[in-house]
Amino acid sequence: GAGVSQSPRYKVAKRGQDVALRCDPISGHVSLFWYQQALGQGPEFLTYFQNEAQLDKSGLPSDRFFAERPEGSVSTLKIQRTQQEDSAVYLCASSTERQGAPPYEQYFGPGTRLTVT
């Protein structure tokens, strides 16, 4: 594929609804990251996968947030019972290298803009 793709690009949810955001990384990329970016801020780390293993989920803000990558390629970030403070752009990034290898370049997707009303 050409790059990292994310869907949907825009999502409006009513407070309390569940949402699922999809990330298609670059084919063959081992590492996959999710970030949350509030308006006018830098991306904030949420979670990291190496293949299908979720190695770090320390950035997930609450137990309403859940991410999976069952086959080591496509990943889904799920937010249950959405709240207004969840409104943000959710970015996915992938990389060829394993975490712990020499520093690596991350390729970002265009993001999903989530608005909770």
Nearer to other proteins, 48 or 65 (CB): 48
Residue 66, SS3 per DSSP: strand
- C-beta neighbour count of 19 within 10 angstroms: 18
Nearer to other proteins, 40 or 70 (CB): 40
The alpha-helical segments, DSSP class H, found in the chain are none
d(CA 7, CA 75): 11
Nearer to other proteins, 81 or 98 (CB): 98
Contacting positions for other proteins (CB under 8 A): 4, 33, 35, 40-45, 48, 56, 58-59, 91, 99-111
Provide the minimum distance between the beta carbon of 10 and other proteins in the complex, in angstroms, as a whole number. Answer: 11
